[in-house]
Amino acid sequence: ETGVTQSPTHLIKTRGQQVTLRCSSQSGHNTVSWYQQALGQGPQFIFQYYREEENGRGNFPPRFSGLQFPNYSSELNVNALELDDSALYLCASSLRRGGPETQYFGPGTRLLVL
Amino acid sequence: AQTVTQSQPEMSVQEAETVTLSCTYDTSESDYYLFWYKQPPSRQMILVIRQEAYKQQNATENRFSVNFQKAAKSFSLKISDSQLGDAAMYFCSESETSGSRLTFGEGTQLTVNP
């Protein structure tokens, strides 16, 4: 069973640029959630995708957008990068079929905006 | 709105001893799910234990157990026979429906002393 993977592991961008982060869900999982974790803080929910549709969004501006593909992998896109976007971005996958559901996390992508 | 509070930014324990990490939460739902995740320096968020609010019995996973007090909205984690590999940041989290967004606390940094 393959776990959640994310790419790249590290990324450096400059203010105003755009970035795309990628996540491959755990084998058999159909739901992907994205979180932003600033240094020294707990993760904050960005949004969730289920069956290629956005299924819930946290308090993040529209320049944070995402996609989920038919194979349930996902992308997080951030436009017009700001210094405060520097953080660890975590992807989590889960299997939605009714009943208790647990999210399993990937290793994260560390984004630094200069 | 959901809130999760971890009042202990740092805790330490001697190897082989027992330690308890505290967590309180606030939710208006009667059914919800509680989790403890562990984040070692490698950054990967690892599930430690899960508790469904509708279950009276406290969850246990080997050396890890919880004390779930629904009326008090308290969800503490007990680690028995602490090992050096238990050293990590521990996050308490809650989701109001199965698989929905996780709300995290600020974390407790656990140090295990040899």
What does pLDDT average to in each consecutive run of 10 residues of chain B (114 residues)? Answer: 92 98 91 93 91 92 96 96 97 83 95 96
Q: What is the mean pLDDT of residues A11-15?
A: 98
Query: Can you give the pLDDT at residue B30?
Result: 80
Give me the residues paired with residue B28 across strands. none
If pLDDT is split at 50, 70 and 90, which confidence band does A1 have?
low
- Is residue A18 a contact partner of residue A77, using CB atoms and an 8 Å limit? yes
Question: How far apart are the C-alpha atoms of B58 and B64, rounded to whole Å?
Answer: 11
Q: What is the pLDDT of residues A25-34, one digit of tens each?
A: 998 898 999 9
Mean pLDDT of chain A: 93
Question: How far apart are the C-alpha atoms of B71 and B53, rounded to whole Å?
Answer: 11
If pLDDT is split at 50, 70 and 90, which confidence band does A4 have?
very high
The pairing of beta strand A104-105 with beta strand B74-79 = unpaired
Q: Is the pLDDT of residue A92 over 90?
A: yes
The angle formed by the CA atoms of residues A99, A37 and B106, to the nearest 5 degrees, is: 80
Chain B 31-50, CB below 8 Å of chain A: which residues?
33, 35, 37, 42-47, 50
Higher pLDDT, A50 or B96: A50
Q: Is the pLDDT of residue A93 over 80?
A: yes
- Chain B hits for A41, CB-CB cut-off 8 Å, are 106-107
Min Cα distance B6 → chain A (Å) is 10
Question: How far apart are the C-alpha atoms of B89 and B28, rounded to whole Å?
Answer: 27
- Is residue B94 a contact partner of residue B5, using CB atoms and an 8 Å limit? no
Substitution target in B10, B32, B93, B102 with the highest count of A β-carbons within 10 Å is: B102
Query: Can you give the pLDDT at residue A96?
Result: 80
Substitution target in A26, A88, A102 with the highest count of B β-carbons within 10 Å is: A102
Query: Can you give the pLDDT at residue B1?
Result: 67
Query: Can you give the pLDDT at residue B98?
Result: 63
> Do residue A90 and residue B45 have CB atoms under 8 angstroms apart?
yes
